[in-house]
Amino acid sequence: MPGYPGQTNFRMTVEKYAVIGHPIAHSKSPLIHQAFAAQFGKVISYEKILAPLDGFTETVHRLQAESFLGANVTVPFKFEAFNLCNSLSERAQALEAGAVNTLSFLGEGQIRGDNTDGAGLRRDIENNLGFSIAGKRLLMLGAGGAAQGVLGSLLDAAQIVIANRTPGKALPMVAAIRHSLEASASTFEALDQSFDLVINATSAGLTDSKLPIPDCVFTANTLAYDMMYGRDTPFMQQARTAGAQVADGLGMLVEQAAEAFHSWHGLRPQTAPVIKSFRQF
């Protein structure tokens, strides 16, 4: 259709991004990134992509072929994502977790990986909750990808104990950080001291399962932080009953998304209004 005299005909190019996971229907990432984009008057497309459990690599290559510029990666694909990367951000290298959650598609098949989970967790705990991590006694519950992805951001604590159902899985993590601070591994049941900060990085909350941890790990001065969000988990209930301060992982979700947004766009969004908007639901 011809335009008006002097009008230039053009088609706006919309930047395309996605989040890849299995499952993925529950993801709030599209809403968060659209809210961030609106702060800067940007128009982006951000999709949820359900990848087959054996089809992550093919899914990423399809997005590259379809001119997507980047993708966030959630469970269970963060380790596979790491193996697809041609280069890594400095913090992804420093974490030594072997997992990334943010991919940038650089053209010519090149993929750059980043891990924003640790920075997101740290920003939420310190900036939003006002809790200083440096010099504190910290208990990490779980030794899977979620724990490994954030551990490198916590190394100014005075002590870290990593507890897992099978402590052998935590031993490599402990060995990797022992040069920085006092660190040890434990079973859940063998815990026998209190901590300033207790982070639940297990998926027990998804099935409403209670972790076999003793109440003695909590005091009135403990911050009990569940990386799960959107539900009052048995971990949070136990910590609250024991008198601890309790927080879920919604702030971490938004803060790590802000780190990814900055990585892709070079812009730092305001996170507080986005966190507040989700708290209202």
Q: Which of 78, 136, 210, 276 is catalytic?
A: 78
Binding-site annotation: residue ranges for NADP(+) = 142-146, 164-169, 227, 249
Q: What are phi and psi of 184, to 5 degrees?
A: -155, 165
**Residue positions in the annotated binding site for shikimate?**
27-29, 74, 101, 117, 229, 256
| Residue among 40, 36, 41 nearest 72 (CA) | 36
- Quick one: CA dihedral 235, 236, 239, 244, positive or negative? positive
Over its C-alpha atoms, the chain yields an Rg (Å, rounded) of 20
d(CA 30, CA 44): 10
Q: Which residues contact 134 (CB under 8 A, 6 or more apart)?
A: 156, 157
Asked if 121 and 153 count as a contact pair (C-beta separation under 8 A), the reply is yes
| Whether residue 78 lies in the annotated active site | yes
Which residues are annotated binding-site positions?
A: 27-29, 74, 101, 117, 142-146, 164-169, 227, 229, 249, 256
Is there a contact between 191 and 164 (Cβ–Cβ < 8 Å)?
no
SS3 of residue 237 by DSSP: helix
Q: Which residues are catalytic?
A: 78
